[in-house]
Structure 1
Amino acid sequence: MNSLSGLWEKLLKFLDDEYDTNGRYYEHTEDFIDLDDYEKKCFDYLIEILNSKGKKIILFFDNFGQLFLDNLKEKEKRRLREILMQCNDIRIIGASAIVLQDLHDYSQPFYEFFQVVHLDGLSKEETYQLIERLQEGCEHKIDLKKNKGKIDTLAILTGGVIRTLMMVYEVLLDDQDGSALSDLELILDQVTPLYKHRIEDLPIQQRRIVDVIAKRWDAISAKEIATEIREDGKRMQTKLISAQLAQLEKNNVVEKKQTNTKNHLYQLKERFFNIWYLMRNGDRRDRRKVKWLTKFLEMWYDDEESIETFLERHILRLKSGGYNAKSALLLAEALADINKINPIILDNLMEATSAILNEDQRSQLNIGEKKLILAIKSYKDQDLKKAIYILEKTKEKINSHKLVLSFFYFLDKQIEKIGIELSALKNVDLEDLDFVKQLCILSKDPNLMIDVMSNSSKIEQKKKELAIGDVYFELGDYELAEKHYNKAVEFGEITPYKPLSTIYSYRGDDSYAEELLVSGLKEGVVEPSDVLEFYEFHLDKEPREKIREIVELMPKDDPYFNFYKGLDIFRSEKIKSKKFGEAKGYLEKALVDFDKIKVRDLRFTQLISNLLLFNIQIALDKIKLKEILERFEEAEIAPPFLKVHSAFGYILLGDYKRAFELMSLNQVIKDSIEFDGQRDNFNDTLLLFMAKNQHHLVFDLFSKNENLKEALKPTYYALMTLLKEEYPNEIIKMGEELTQPVSDILTKIEEMKEEYK
């Protein structure tokens, strides 16, 4: 339908059929041929007939924009607008899968002319009714009551779009030979003109945004979209993304999913449009072509039993012959990504699928990679035996299979088998070197490393010597480690300063150990943080000036810069000074840096400890204190003395239960009795409990441990003084020599009441 006059001609033909005129109405238009007002004459004649019949016409237009409005000339659009405004005999109801720009462009004749009704997709209940109707008279039916979940899935997958729902239902519901997925390709071809037009009509920036959203499949935030789009080497601004998303939402291309924050999520509104995009614009490397199918199957078979039943039937069909190979390949790739499936069944599926594929398709399936994925998946599911079984029955094992299998043998305490797998490695390269090294260390056999290195031509001799040296080093054989490190140096490798430094420090030569690290620092192969760590933990007297010199040399974006800068100020300033607050600022920045690179070593413990102490002693900022305590709990690396600091913090927050739990830990109590420093911290925390009137919690701690009562006797009798009405006979046991210490403790408790209100 490409002209207004063509529309009137079409309607006249319709009336000829309706009133069985043998074509008289349409033939009458011959009288208007070659007249300048041909279209007007046809329209007037049409209205004349309608009036004579006492009828009106309602036109139902599918794809109203694409198949009609877009084809009209500007003059015809204005003429149609005039007709619709003045003539009551014709009304139009149009449908469009895309937003018509003519309706939103001020310069166009139909700007805000039509009443627009946005049609929502069918609900799950309405989808259920539609499927029920579709199945009437069908030979193959599904039990609607038992398969309510599957129907819900169809509603989700198609977005409730009836046309799409019917196509997908017919294709996927009864797939006996794998042809359904081939048929799906035909369906995608049918919708391609519509969807292609939908994409190409978008401005370029919106097109790029849709590309990111579609390929993610799951809902995504504006901020996440911004990280994927660059313009001239710069990331697209989030506020610009948000503005474009608002327009896409208005045009029904995307839907916004509200969150409880300002960062809402966005998804393509019509899920089948998303499927089409993935299938037509995805690439194999990113597995986008099967991502949608994976999601579908996960929803369709919503429990392990139902999907495994499907798989068993599917494997039988594969083995019976005649199954479509292309569909089998697509299904195998999709099913491999579903976590709820038993890996052994998936392994059987891969074998059965591989058997019906040609050589090219088999290479696409990459069964070796799939076997490795399945084995690792079993391991993650804590089924080590299953993981080992899958790799052991892999026919053509490559190096990655042997390495992972060796690791699984170690976990399963089959140490004797590790040597067999490592000895069978073929010409390992640098990429595998670290893994091999770790396996030799785990099996405590440096000779394995020597054997593997002797069979590799891809690795330089100097790197082989370094790797062998590393194995000896990790196993504590410093003499042989040094021997191989020196060989590496002879072959031209840069001196392994750090491990050699450790060796000399172990021998008591801290001076040469320091010299090695400083030389490595100058050469650029030792990190400043390594030297600083040495100063922190290896020398009796801390060389503060040297530490400061190195810290000042560090780049400001070095993750350890803020840590050591803050630590230095923290140690050198008085608690109440302004500089102490500056130190806290550096340490808080260091915490952010450590999170980025996932540092969880002794320095992280120091960092958390100092921040905790600062927030306890100085700031008394309860929000900050709560945050740092939560971080401390997450880290799960706190030694006993730091758990006491945590308990102190929880008391300040009023969480006496959690504080008591930490103080009750056996190791905390044991260390508090044995070590003077920790005993003081533990005692201060008990006094804070008492300052907060939590006397009975402290009494419980003393009651459960007689040794604690002996170690902190003055505090115990200070408690008994406060509880003398309940336990009048206990205070009598106190010796005269404790009178003053107990009095001092009671005074301190009163002071703490004021200090920690």
Structure 2
Amino acid sequence: MKVAAIYNPQEMQEDLFVERFVVRRDTLAELMQRIRETGPNQFFKHTIIQGLRGQGKTTLLRKLSICVRDNAELSPWLIPVLFREEEYSVTSLCRLWELVVEHLADQPEFETLPDQYEEAYQSPHYEKDCFSILGDALQKTDKTILLLIDNLGEMLGKFELRDQQRLREILQTSRRIRIIGASAVMLEQHYDQGKPFFQFFTMKTLDGLNREETHELLLGLGDAEQTAKMQDILRTQSGKVEALRRLTAGVPRTMILLFEIFLDDHGSALDDLEALLDRVTPLYKHRLDDLPAQQQAIVHAIALGWDAMSTKEIAAKTRLPSKQVSAQLSQLEKNRLIRRIPTSTKNHLYQLEERFFNIWCLMRLGRKNDKQRAIWLVKFLESWCDEQELAERAERHMDALKEGKLAPRHALLWSQALAQSLRDLDLQQRVLDTTKEFVPQVAESLPESDTDLFKKASEAYKSGDCKSALKLNKVLADKGYPTAEYNVGILYMQNGDMKLSESYFFKAAQKGYVDAIHNLSLVYYEDGKRPLDALELMRKSDQAEPSAQTKLPLSLLALWNEEFPEAFSAIDLAMTEFLTETDDLDDFLAYPVAMLAAKGQTAFALKLFEDERYGHLNLKERLKPYYYAILQEIGESRRDDALRMGPELEQTVAEIRADIEGFRLQYRLQPTESSDAKA
């Protein structure tokens, strides 16, 4: 099924429409039951179906019309009158009655009504005469009409107050007219005590489709061959379909739109998308224009971000005070333009309620060379495609570019999306280079390659421009490159921001980046917390790249955790296999020696200075202050050896012993932190 048919279901052939009505059946049954239970001589509970655009309201109204028309119990007395989705001409109550009569005139018993209206047109009480003529005809034929009005909320908003009051009076007193309407916007009058329709309508809300409904929808879209393909997708890739459902908040039209675009390699689905965007532009533009300036700025910032944002992030984007942003967010939420996503803290997140409106904002309000313009397609690709599938799609895209199958605007959108989704630097570069070669008119709107960004970041760091290096690396880190995440961690560490440094090291470590694993372990050590986690990380680092740079930190962390055999083994390997007499031993051994003393392992510490196995390193001379500090820690049994220390070393040794005492306090293992306790 093409997206255009999904957008305007009233234009679909009826037999095909009925065949493909596969979701919202529970809601249909509920509404039909409500209609059947209210006989011709009873007052009906007028109803509004409320839901986001694309939730299936128009489809539901058409299906209701068909069901009522074909129902043997209802059709003898109840006539469904289905309005078009956009009835721009209905700005008054008299125009509503005129439109109803236009619908009824096809039936012989009502064919004279248009002429009667024409005769009454000059009457000073034209609206009342219109309703009287209609009411008399319904009474004479013993018929009732069911008005199925799409966008009822917008229609009522165009009526003057006296027309609103008059319509309410009619609906309260006439059994011959019933309304089931639909509205994509919150009916303000329903919640305002001063308005005519306060608490008047029964509200039925359509939510996003659940998992089972999504499967039913996708299985009902195509012919037998397409259905078989969809069954295979649902059987083998159900997780991807679920990701699609969550990405679109379960809105049927948006799901079908993205699915069509994904399956299409020639751009026709994007043509459908652009047709839809053009069609809704007047409506969405009017929606934005009606907002106060601050709310416009907030909606624009949230739309360009796509993902949910916090109040603080919105304030930073809009340059508005957080308190003002919070107040405007409350109003936007009330009007159902945004939705609030609760978190475990008071800092909730906010997102545009209607995802298709978000796509419209990105495509129509975003600059052509702005990478955020394609972010909706990027998110879809990332949720649907694994690395291999993304690479295959990139290859097909390049083939389409070479064969001239894509319009320039479609080529640009796909190249922007693929460039942001691909993590293979060579493949990403090829996509961008191929686009520039075969569609040169869009070259200036393409993003920089990540390879170029990495080069710029490296050059900035080497030149001492750490601010630019941080900014560039953060862009790459946001795309998920572990190298960039590690670089950001290093830059924050150099700035002294250990909290942010830790968070970026953690991201890279989660992806197995060895240097990040190593540094994250040392961040935990510096913080004096999470000893077992620090040890586990350093074990992974040492296993991946064993060296003195991993063995000695491993020994330090093993000592912290009081895993003494592991610590002794790591030190021994470092000193016999990795360290040489040319290494700067103060950098390598000072902390392990101090930690050995702090943990009461002075015998092994002394062994490092006196055992012949380590004699090639000549530690007694090269780390003489540490040697005398250990002798003093041992006490009486080595008192005479300690007395050999020259007076020039006394202050240095005293400082080392103070460090040892500091280690005792900072790295004292709590009972709950020991490996035995964890086990």
Per the TM superposition, whether the score is higher than 0.5 is: yes
C-alpha distance 664-713 of structure 1, shift in aligned 2 (>3 A): farther
Structure 2 equivalent of residue 564 of structure 1: none
Conserved? CA contact 1:5–1:39, under 8 Å: yes
Structure 1 equivalent of residue 230 of structure 2: 143
C-alpha distance 316-668 of structure 1, shift in aligned 2 (>3 A): closer
Corresponding residue to 2:321 among 226, 229, 236: 236
Corresponding residue to 2:133 among 24, 31, 45: 45
Structure 2 equivalent of residue 594 of structure 1: 496
Structure 2 equivalent of residue 309 of structure 1: 392
Cα deviations by residue, 1:441-462 (Å, 9 ceiling, x for unpaired): xxxxxxxxxxxxxxxxxxxxxx
Structure 2 equivalent of residue 630 of structure 1: 529
Structure 1 equivalent of residue 378 of structure 2: 294
Structure 1 equivalent of residue 438 of structure 2: 356
Structure 1 equivalent of residue 426 of structure 2: 344
Structure 2 equivalent of residue 70 of structure 1: 157
Unaligned runs of 5+ in 1: 378-399, 408-430, 437-590, 601-624, 651-655, 687-697, 719-733, 739-748
Q: CA deviation at 1:143?
A: 3.3
Q: CA deviation at 1:644?
A: 11
Conserved? CA contact 1:177–1:322, under 8 Å: yes
Cα deviations by residue, 1:11-53 (Å, 9 ceiling, x for unpaired): 2333332x32472233233453433332223223323333344
Please provide the CA RMSD for this pair. 5.0
Q: CA deviation at 1:213?
A: 1.0
Q: CA deviation at 1:90?
A: 2.1
C-alpha distance 198-142 of structure 1, shift in aligned 2 (>3 A): farther
Query: Counterparts of 1:406-555 in structure 2 under 5 Å?
Result: 434=463
The one-letter code matched in structure 1 to 2:231 is: L
Cα deviations by residue, 1:105-148 (Å, 9 ceiling, x for unpaired): 44332233333333212234322212221213677974333254
C-alpha distance 736-22 of structure 1, shift in aligned 2 (>3 A): closer
Structure 1 equivalent of residue 194 of structure 2: 107
Query: Counterparts of 1:569-718 in structure 2 under 5 Å?
Result: 594-595=496-497, 628-630=527-529, 656-657=561-562, 666=571, 682-686=596-600, 706=607
Structure 1 equivalent of residue 251 of structure 2: 161
Cα deviations by residue, 1:135-166 (Å, 9 ceiling, x for unpaired): 13677974333254554455345433334444
Residue 194 (structure 1) aligned with residue 283 (structure 2)? yes
Residue 278 (structure 1) aligned with residue 180 (structure 2)? no
Corresponding residue to 2:212 among 125, 133, 142: 125
Structure 2 equivalent of residue 319 of structure 1: 402
In structure 2, how many angstroms separate the alpha carbons of the residues matched to 1:363 and 1:79?
59
Cα deviations by residue, 1:211-268 (Å, 9 ceiling, x for unpaired): 11111111111121122223xxxx413x432333233223222222222222121111
In structure 2, how many angstroms separate the alpha carbons of the residues matched to 1:153 and 1:676?
52
Conserved? CA contact 2:390–2:422, under 8 Å: no
Structure 1 equivalent of residue 352 of structure 2: 268
Structure 1 equivalent of residue 173 of structure 2: 86
Residue 247 (structure 1) aligned with residue 331 (structure 2)? yes
In structure 2, how many angstroms separate the alpha carbons of the residues matched to 1:667 and 1:245?
62
SS in 2 for 1:134: coil
Conserved? CA contact 1:279–1:288, under 8 Å: no
Residue 211 (structure 1) aligned with residue 296 (structure 2)? no
SS in 1 for 2:196: coil
Q: CA deviation at 1:328?
A: 1.5
In structure 2, how many angstroms separate the alpha carbons of the residues matched to 1:129 and 1:677?
64
SS in 2 for 1:110: coil
Conserved? CA contact 1:178–1:324, under 8 Å: yes
Q: CA deviation at 1:658?
A: 7.2
Structure 1 equivalent of residue 123 of structure 2: 35
In structure 2, how many angstroms separate the alpha carbons of the residues matched to 1:683 and 1:713?
10
Q: CA deviation at 1:669?
A: 11
Conserved? CA contact 1:644–1:682, under 8 Å: no
Cα deviations by residue, 1:408-432 (Å, 9 ceiling, x for unpaired): xxxxxxxxxxxxxxxxxxxxxxx89
Conserved? CA contact 1:140–1:174, under 8 Å: no
Residue 24 (structure 1) aligned with residue 107 (structure 2)? no
C-alpha distance 644-159 of structure 1, shift in aligned 2 (>3 A): closer
Cα deviations by residue, 1:596-635 (Å, 9 ceiling, x for unpaired): 89999xxxxxxxxxxxxxxxxxxxxxxxx99941399699
Answer 1 or 2: higher relative contact order, Cα 8 Å, separation at least 6. Answer: 2
C-alpha distance 246-357 of structure 1, shift in aligned 2 (>3 A): same
C-alpha distance 92-667 of structure 1, shift in aligned 2 (>3 A): farther
Moved more, 143-152 or 78-87: 143-152
Structure 1 equivalent of residue 476 of structure 2: none
Q: CA deviation at 1:205?
A: 2.3
Unaligned runs of 5+ in 2: 1-89, 466-492, 503-523, 539-548, 576-584, 612-626, 642-660, 671-679
The one-letter code matched in structure 2 to 1:60 is: L
In structure 2, how many angstroms separate the alpha carbons of the residues matched to 1:219 and 1:103?
29
Conserved? CA contact 1:249–1:255, under 8 Å: yes
C-alpha distance 709-329 of structure 1, shift in aligned 2 (>3 A): same
Structure 1 equivalent of residue 35 of structure 2: none
C-alpha distance 662-99 of structure 1, shift in aligned 2 (>3 A): farther
C-alpha distance 102-715 of structure 1, shift in aligned 2 (>3 A): same
The one-letter code matched in structure 2 to 1:91 is: R
Structure 2 equivalent of residue 57 of structure 1: 145
In structure 2, how many angstroms separate the alpha carbons of the residues matched to 1:630 and 1:96?
55
Conserved? CA contact 2:401–2:435, under 8 Å: yes
Q: CA deviation at 1:298?
A: 1.9
Moved more, 159-168 or 272-281: 159-168
C-alpha distance 352-22 of structure 1, shift in aligned 2 (>3 A): same
C-alpha distance 59-138 of structure 1, shift in aligned 2 (>3 A): farther
Q: CA deviation at 1:375?
A: 6.2
The one-letter code matched in structure 1 to 2:133 is: Y
- Tell me the TM-score normalized by structure 2: 0.57
Q: CA deviation at 1:294?
A: 1.7
In structure 2, how many angstroms separate the alpha carbons of the residues matched to 1:630 and 1:109?
64
Conserved? CA contact 2:164–2:196, under 8 Å: yes
Conserved? CA contact 1:647–1:685, under 8 Å: no
SS in 2 for 1:92: strand
Conserved? CA contact 1:156–1:271, under 8 Å: no
In structure 1, how many angstroms separate the alpha carbons of the residues matched to 2:207 and 2:564?
54
SS in 2 for 1:323: coil
In structure 1, how many angstroms separate the alpha carbons of the residues matched to 2:606 and 2:567?
15
Residues matched between the structures, number: 470
SS in 2 for 1:58: strand
C-alpha distance 713-664 of structure 1, shift in aligned 2 (>3 A): farther
